[in-house]
Amino acid sequence: MFNDANAVSDISTEFRKFTVDRFIKYARIWTTSNKHSPDMPTTPGQWDLAKELVAELKTIGVTDVTLTDKCYVIGKIPASAGKEHRPTIGFLSHIDTSAEVSGKDVRPQLVESYDGKPITFEGGASLDPAEFPDLAEHSGQSIIHTDGNTLLGADDKAGIAIIMGMVEYFFNHPEVQHGPIEVMFTPDEETGKSLQGFPLETIKSTACYTLDGGPIGELEWECFNAWGAKITFTGLSIHLGTARGKMVNAALMAAVYAAMLPRNESPEATDGYYGYYAPLTIEGNVETASLEIYIRDFDRKEGERRVRALDTFAKAVEAQFPGGKVEVDVKLQYLNMKEKINVYPEVLDILRKAFTNSGVAIHEKPIRGGTDGSRLTQMGIPTPNIFTGGRNYHSRLEWLSVPEMALSCKLVTELVRLWGED
């Protein structure tokens, strides 16, 4: 699991205590977001965790802490004496959890020495190491999993625990020199709204790092280009008994449109650097219907090709349904952060050195999705993504590696120390 055998003993004593209890506490707070809500944050439970983080930062000793009216938590840790001139470095994780599986009444199950056997849940679901090889590799290690009724929330409460652990580490070790640090916790990442009200003007970070990755070693600095489309279908309702030659069925128009999306360009048919169309919701009736579609691709030109194709599909559906109307509304959500991060090579160079110094083999891979870092990079602050140790996100089978979460905490403290060097 680790390059450096010493890393295991280090994390068991020094960094585990900064992360495990925190994560379990955060996981129990209900912070599921709701993409259908117009509010920011979209659910009231996110305030509960935000307020907890503010109180905890102040207890640790951070005096410059802000909770904005949009539920952003921002803490600023001053540099060590003599390091004030070093660049400010930021760390970012999100408060909310996915609505795909319930996040209410989460009961994290801490297993101190996993025995390597299948973990069976009520209802028949199981975490089987035969199906999940990463789990098999954790025999004898500490893990945290769900009780089978909810997700766990490691996405991204493991990231929050890692960042908060890093903050406590530096307050406990004033002898470790560092430059200025900013920590940021955002609402509604899972809804795509996370940075809509972000107070960028208050942030001084030269570079930032999200803690929102998965297994040990993950380093992600390129992501999809992303568009969201709403396709609206307008038909004509007539009594079914006299509908011939008159009715225009908007619900059927939406179904026909969805069927035109190439099946070999779907999330379930692609991986690696291949992009896709992803129809997410379809609803409506005879008179009006709508279809929500995500378009994703690492190659911006390929993504734009798919965007143009949406209009072609619309014309084809209108031709099949005389009198019907199809409107296509597409919005750019975020761009591949690779282009901007390439302009600042030191952001990755120092991170790679932190991996090496922490005894962690680097696994660089593209994000088949996006993070808050994707949006923050687009806003001008290069923001790669770092592993947290979580697996099976957005699932009742979600679980978290305790040693990997702790080692991530060790890595980010080393990252801060390196940025503080002259």
Catalytic annotation, residues: 96, 189
| Cα separation, 210 vs 184, whole angstroms | 9
b/e map 181-191, b = 16+ CB within 10 Å: bbbbbbbbbbb
Helix (H) or strand (E) holding 366: none
Helix, strand and coil content of the chain, in percent to the nearest 5, comes to 35, 20, 45
| Cα separation, 271 vs 263, whole angstroms | 14
Angle, vertex CA 210, rays to CA 204 and CA 134, nearest 5:
165
| Cα separation, 18 vs 59, whole angstroms | 14
Q: Which two tokens stand for residue 346?
A: 């030191």
Q: In what order do the strands lie in the sheet with 399-401?
A: 109-111, 143-145, 399-401, 390-391
SS3 400: strand
Residues 148, 2: contact at Cβ < 8 Å? Answer: no
| Cα separation, 413 vs 167, whole angstroms | 8
What residue type is assigned to position 34 of the chain? N
Q: Which residue from 313, 373, 312 is spatially nearest to 341, judged by alpha carbons? A: 373
Query: Beta strands 385-386 and 218-220: pairing type?
Result: antiparallel
| Cα separation, 250 vs 243, whole angstroms | 14
